[in-house]
Amino acid sequence: MKIALFNSKPYDESFFLRENERFGHELSFFEPQLNEDTVRLAEGFPGVCVFVNDPVDASVLEKLAAGGARLIALRCSGFNNVDLQAAAAKRITVVRVPAYSPHAVAEHAVALLLAMNRKTHRAYNRVREGNFALDGLLGFDLYGKTVGVIGTGRIGAIFARIMKGFGCELLAHDKYPSQACREEGVVYVEKDELLQRSDIVSLHCPLTVETRHIIDANALSLMRQGVTLINTSRGGLVDTIAVIKGLKSGKIGYLGLDVYEEEEELFFKDLSDEVIQDDIFARLLTFPNVLITGHQAYFTGTALSNIAQTTLQNVADFENTGQCENAVTL
Ligand code: NAI
């Protein structure tokens, strides 16, 4: 199938070209994001491949349909950026990559936690400058701490297992508790109880109407003083303004983010020569106890290979049968 890949980076191109040797699709790589201004590039392509922050809204879908698109292939697992109702109305099938490496994301959440706690990023700079003083680098033992996991699907379950290995007590909240997690010693509780009892809270649920701002001022009021909060899921789960207040008051002791509510304007680009216009994000960067990465939790060779492979298989399935087991339905 002819596929237009938007928001394409050199690493996407290299992994997709390698995996496509088995599939033989006709791939065209476009650097810009798919949006109102760039949608015309997709004219004549039945397949359109997008990433997490391409806004595939009703208006873009209308133009895609007019240009002959029949398939949106998300090369990610989240699909909150696609208007599924509008896609269905235009008879455009939406497929995704449900799991490419849940380990990569869970391990990155742990990396954020360890780096913040032991201040590895600060120690690295100090030692390079010949400063071997330890003041300001005091951490805490993870052993014995209570970790609350919100969402114990593929990624959350792995994160819980890793933290169990550190000797932590595991609490979880999920609409659909996992028996496997229970058997590994995870205790399911209501969200409020999890927030009240956890020293560390890590978010692993999807962004939905229900979970938007699941961490807001009210949730923060329930949390322990000095709590560590990790979000590698979706920025919209956290009310950033409330979190900034929580950081200023000391309620939040450490904040580790791989995602940000307004990341679309920032992430996946080199803006090092520009002035950051987002004042809320800029404020977050000023806290010594905040560590932010730019949506890189998924970014391992294993994950990129799996993403390319599943995306190209999704397209082949759709092309050959009109169906795909990874279709996203309303
Ligand atoms: P999953 O679908 O396997 O698990 C999500 C879990 O959240 C499910 O168990 C579900 O029952 C639960 N859940 C849904 N609504 C809930 C609610 N209201 N309260 C509590 N739990 C709820 O998804 P997976 O693969 O574990 O991914 C989790 C999230 O991680 C994705 O939605 C995506 O947003 C994010 N992600 C981030 C990446 C990154 O690079 N930073 C890469 C891949 C995924």
Assigned architecture for domain 2-100+300-321? 3-Layer(aba) Sandwich (3.40)
Tokens found for residue 204: 């692993």
Ordered by start, the domain boundaries in the chain are 2-100+300-321, 102-292
Contact (Cβ atoms closer than 8 angstroms) between residue 9 and residue 56: no
What was the pLDDT predicted at 296? 97
* Cβ neighbours of residue 64 closer than 8 Å, sequence gap 6 or more: 39, 42, 48, 56, 72, 90, 92
What was the pLDDT predicted at 96? 97
- The 10s digit of each residue's pLDDT in 110-167 is 999 999 999 999 999 999 999 999 999 999 999 999 999 999 999 999 999 999 999 9
- At residue 95's C-alpha, the angle toward residues 79 and 159, to 5°, is 55
Tokens found for residue 110: 């742990």
Task: Check for a shared fold between 2-100+300-321 and 102-292.
Answer: yes
pTM of the model: 0.92
What was the pLDDT predicted at 12? 97
What was the pLDDT predicted at 323? 95
Assigned architecture for domain 102-292? 3-Layer(aba) Sandwich (3.40)
Q: How far is the CA of 155 from the centre of ligand 1 (A)?
A: 7
Distance spanning both ends of the chain, measured CA to CA: 25
The protein residue with its alpha carbon nearest to ligand 1, atom 1, reads 153
Residues of the chain with pLDDT under 50: none
| CB-ligand 1 contact for 224 (6 Å cutoff) | no
Contact (Cβ atoms closer than 8 angstroms) between residue 255 and residue 109: no
What was the pLDDT predicted at 97? 97
What was the pLDDT predicted at 330? 81
| CB-ligand 1 contact for 174 (6 Å cutoff) | yes
